[in-house]
Structure 1
Amino acid sequence: RKSLQGLNYFAADGSEAFDSLIRTIQELTVSIDEQQRLIKNLKRGRQYLKSDFKVHVSKSSTIGDHCVTYAVSDKSTQEFRQLCDHKHDDICIDCANLSNTLMNIEQILKDKSEQNDLDKFRTCYEAIHAWKSHQLRSINQNSCREQIIEELAAAVFLNLDQEGQKSDGETGDTLDDNTADGISNNFSQYQHKVFVHVFDQCTQDAKTVRAIIQNVLQKIKVTDPHVKQAYIRSDNAGCYHSAETILSIPQISKNTGITITRMDFSDPQGGKAACDRFAAVIKYHIRRYLRAIARKPRPITAEWPSIDVLETFPK
């Protein structure tokens, strides 16, 4: 599995679940017409989750599957619950098609008494449901980013790339690069900057992240002295804990002269964006550079030539 933007495991597992269900249907002893109908509906459902579903999701909707406020509210906790000012009495044809198709497949497997296939179906069903839920949560978490950029005025939006970072106490043995990108509105003209930090060896924990945040803000302050505030957004990798980073925000603000006004989090696996894309381009450039060295041997230093490679990267 390769992706220029970084692999989203919710999407990968969900798509694989659709493929698994299609193979299961092809092996069932049902009529050809029934097989074709179920497979067609599954393909239609997968395409819908990949494309139009995210467009239909909104903060307020009369369709329960599309209403963010209704979906993310916790019915058991008052502090995390918000009541809608409307009823959810409308139906989405595509959502209903997917739901009915999955129920039909489950009923067929129950009638056939295929316990192994039924267990596989339930695993696939959970993966598809998790993918759909992830899509909706991602829309909700991305709304803060859109709001900030729209209201941006001499501020900076810092998107930290923490994909693959490990929990405290674990040390990376290989070279790692961390990227951060800043978006600022300089006199009504947007600027997009990408900062790359290369480490030979380091413990990928909160201390490293704090150092990266502070360094990025310091560089932004040097190049754009008018910047007074920053909004930080983490990709919220499941293996990374942000407690120390959050507690260090006041000190970082004091050290850099840029007040970190707000810190937001993506849905896990939902923060694949500019950082991942730029890191993928850099890694490709390094691989191409090393292949060129292999074809034309020349003296190289004992240290990893990553910095030298990045200096040859097209600006």
Structure 2
Amino acid sequence: MNFFIYIQVHISELAIVPDHCRICALCDKAEAFSCLCDHDHDMVCSNCEQISKLLASLNSLIADSDLKEKEDCRDDYQYKLSQAQTNIFSWKTHILRTCYQERAKTEIMNTMGQNDILIVLDWAMKFLPQRYREDQSNWFGKRGLSWHTGVAFRRIKVVESSAFNHIFNGQIPQDSYATSAVILDIVNELKEQDNSKDKVHLWSDNAGCYKSSDTIYALYCSKSVTSYDF
């Protein structure tokens, strides 16, 4: 975990290590999803290189070792190593995207005007325990009971927050239809409280129900959302 904390600390737009540069590391091979940095990347991170070298060494060890009676397990070892490598780099890219998302939220909070609202959205995992010590049967019995939370931030003289919890009576899929309905209900409620807040900014994680084309289209048709970061 120390390595991933190290990555979070060193990620920035001015980093001269390619893996730490927020712009360079997020660029895609396709030209439409890439951009150029205004600085060179002429340094290498020793911690990042150590992981790559370790994975390469393990791959060579599995390929070249004489496993004798465990020869049949070679493919299994290679598969597990491949999965581990995929998981490590997926987690690394997840941290990078998280840092970029946090930057977007921070910029909105810092530049928030009198007419702006920032709504942070998330589907909660489960209800809070009703007892001090809850057994597994009660814990897993709550599976499928969905509730959604949204916290709205607005600036009057200081930054104020309001929480909106939508608790559903039965089991519902956490899909784009439920998600867009909940978001628009929060937005409408906020505008009923204060119709001067005409710039609504949304912030959520990268879950499929938030970035779904149906959700985006519903928010676009409502003409009530200024920006959306996920």
Tell me whether the two structures share a fold, i.e. TM-score over 0.5: yes
3-state DSSP of counterpart to 2:152: strand
Q: Counterpart in 2 of 1:247? A: 217
3-state DSSP of counterpart to 2:61: helix
By how many angstroms is 1:128 displaced? 0.8
Q: Counterpart in 2 of 1:53? A: 7
Q: Counterpart in 1 of 2:65? A: 112
Q: Counterpart in 2 of 1:160? A: 121
Q: Counterpart in 1 of 2:159? A: 190
Alignment of 1:88-127 (within 5 A): 88-114=41-67, 115=74, 116-127=76-87
Any idea what the Cα deviations from partners look like across 1:176-220, whole Å, max 9, x if unmatched? 211111111122x01122110111134543332232222212322
- Tell whether the 8 Å contact from 1:162 to 1:236 is kept in structure 2 after alignment: no
- Tell whether the 8 Å contact from 2:117 to 2:200 is kept in structure 1 after alignment: yes
1:137 equivalent to 2:113? Answer no
Identity of aligned residues (%): 27
Any idea what the Cα deviations from partners look like across 1:98-131, whole Å, max 9, x if unmatched? 2222222222223314523233212211111111
Change in 2 beyond 3 A, CA 1:241/1:135: closer
- Separation of aligned partners in 2, 1:225 and 1:152: 16
Any idea what the Cα deviations from partners look like across 1:125-182, whole Å, max 9, x if unmatched? 1111111121112222332211111111121111221467xxxxxxxx9432111111
- Tell whether the 8 Å contact from 1:175 to 1:199 is kept in structure 2 after alignment: yes
3-state DSSP of counterpart to 2:91: helix
- Tell whether the 8 Å contact from 1:158 to 1:233 is kept in structure 2 after alignment: yes
Counterpart of 1:147, as a letter, is E
3-state DSSP of counterpart to 1:179: strand
Any idea what the Cα deviations from partners look like across 1:288-309, whole Å, max 9, x if unmatched? xxxxxxxxxxxxxxxxxxxxxx
Structure number with the bigger relative contact order (C-alpha 8 A, sep ≥ 6) is 1
Which of 177, 181, 186 lines up with 2:151 in the alignment?
Answer: 181
TM-score between both structures, scaled by the size of structure 1: 0.58
1:263 equivalent to 2:228? Answer yes
1:199 equivalent to 2:168? Answer yes
- Separation of aligned partners in 1, 2:178 and 2:38: 45
- Separation of aligned partners in 1, 2:175 and 2:49: 44
- Tell whether the 8 Å contact from 2:124 to 2:147 is kept in structure 1 after alignment: no
Change in 2 beyond 3 A, CA 1:131/1:225: same
- Tell whether the 8 Å contact from 2:24 to 2:37 is kept in structure 1 after alignment: yes
Aligned length: 204
TM-score between both structures, scaled by the size of structure 2: 0.78
Which of 20, 28, 36 lines up with 1:66 in the alignment?
Answer: 20
- Tell whether the 8 Å contact from 1:182 to 1:194 is kept in structure 2 after alignment: yes
Q: Which runs of no fewer than 5 residues in structure 1 stay unpaired?
A: 1-45, 165-172, 254-258, 266-315
By how many angstroms is 1:54 displaced? 0.8
